[in-house]
Amino acid sequence: MAAKPTVVFFPEGAYGPTNNCVGIGQVLRERGARVVFIVEESFAGSLEAQGFEERLMRLGPPPATDEAPGQFWKDFIAATSPEFRKPTIDQLETFIAPTMQALVDGARYVDDRLCAIIDELDPDIVIEDNVCCFPALPARARRWGRIVSCNPAEITDPAVPPVFSGYPTADRTGWATFWEAYDAQLGPLWSAFDAFVQDRGAPPLPPRAFIHESPHLNLYLYPAEADYARERPLGSTWHRIDTCVREDSGETELPDHIASGSGSLIYLSLGSLGSADVALMQRLCDALADTPHRYIVSKGPQADEIGLHPNQWGAEYLPQPLLMPLCDLVITHGGNNTATECFHHGLPMVVLPLFWDQYDNASRVDELGFGVRLPTYEWRPADLTSALDRLLDDTRLRDRMQKISARVKANPGRVRAADLIERAARH
């Protein structure tokens, strides 16, 4: 390995995985590593602005007009959002399978470009954070590692509920039926993709999995207190990093009535994709208008269409790492990034899951008592305000969350991940 190692990050084209990799990349860059990000063209310049090199690629043909970062997935989610009202087992056919099809189509489209990037950079290690395999990595890179920044149910185990199901661990009713539906809907897609992966020089895919376990390094993002007990322990290449919160520089100024008003301070975010559901966002803001609390609202890409009330303040984009430490509670979609940040800052959650692993996080948070899961589209205003009151009044939960926060902050996940990546690059 060169004295100044080259570490390449290849995150999925969404803010959550990208921000996790940025946090780790910041540590490696400070240690003298050359850090390069492989990003979709829609993200061009966003990583360079943070001091990293970029290599650009596409997961499909270019659009007729310029697109915003991650616009493909924003459009995809908007088109398929009616499916989020269905039970998770029904979403396997109408959302999960089409989403996975789009992912593997992207992997097929970009493989030649990834081979060219890897050949050009000849990195000491490539770290990817994706949910499907990109065969150029295992076939071409000298070393590669994987980050699982979704709920760890993605790493299947007989004692862990089926991925995407949102089922609890304490009740296995329905597990077998869900797996049967999973195999029926995704089995043919898996078989075709496995053939492509092997044709491109990568090893066969594990059963039911659309991505390999790395022989060099595997990281997953989840705090120990919320992790699953497994029937089959993970191998020696697997390491848990409890949280991975990037450093955001600067300060943010809140309006006086939000910064120092009465009541608790609550952060509301459905993520960059979920917040595009304007009707749901507006219903939440309206239901919270008459409560005695103050709210910071991450409004997302449709910010102009969401009206806020006097006890609320927000914007399209907010520096979440700077704002969450100021808050007492978070209302969230249950994305893994936000959920683990809540543990990092010791904040209980009200979770309204929309898609993918958000159901798994919502179930886990509710089952372990770290928050309350509400039915995303069927909740009543009284359900929401009752959940807020119960969580804010629970001093035992607050103490429990603060202990978790103190533990994970004492051993930052981004630093631990950087240590493990450096070690894997050397060996």
What does the pLDDT look like over 286-306, one tens digit per residue?
999 999 999 999 988 778 888
Number of other CB atoms surrounding residue 261 within 10 Å: 15
User: What is the rounded distance in angstroms from the CA atom of residue 114 to the CA atom of residue 136?
Assistant: 6
- In the numeric block, the tokens 């704002």 are attached to 323
* CATH class of the 6-245+412-426 domain in this structure: alpha beta
Look at the chain and count its residues: 427
* Rounded mean pLDDT, 118-123: 95
- Is residue 238 scored above 80 in pLDDT? yes
pLDDT of the residue at 383 = 95
Per-residue pLDDT, averaged over 407-419, amounts to 93
Calculate what percentage of the chain has a pLDDT beyond 90. 74
Phi, psi dihedral angles at 241 (to 5 degrees): -115, 115
Q: What is the mean pLDDT of residues 220-242?
A: 95
pLDDT tops 90 at residue 60: no
2 compared with 108, residue with greater pLDDT: 108
Evaluate if residue 78 carries a pLDDT over 70: no
pLDDT above 70 as % of the chain: 95
Question: Architecture of 256-409 per CATH?
Answer: 3-Layer(aba) Sandwich (3.40)
Q: Where are the domains of the chain?
A: 6-245+412-426, 256-409
This prediction has a pTM of: 0.91
CB-based contact 58:41 (threshold 8 Å): yes
349-351/329-332 β-pairing: parallel
Mean pLDDT confidence for 329-342 = 93
Task: Judge if 6-245+412-426 and 256-409 fold alike in CATH terms.
Answer: yes
Dist. CA 423–CA 427, nearest whole Å:
6
Q: Of 27, 416, 9, 423, which Cα lies nearest the Cα of 240?
A: 416
Average pLDDT over the chain reads 91
Residue type, 45: G
Would you say residue 69 has pLDDT above 70?
no
User: If pLDDT is split at 50, 70 and 90, which confidence band does 151 have?
Assistant: very high
Q: In this predicted structure, what is the pLDDT of residue 346?
A: 96
Q: What is the pLDDT of residue 290?
A: 92
The predicted pLDDT at position 73 comes to 57
Minimum mean pLDDT range among 68-77, 214-223, 403-412: 68-77
Residue pair 147/54 in contact (Cβ under 8 Å)? The answer is no
Whether the per-residue pLDDT at 309 is higher than 70: the answer is yes
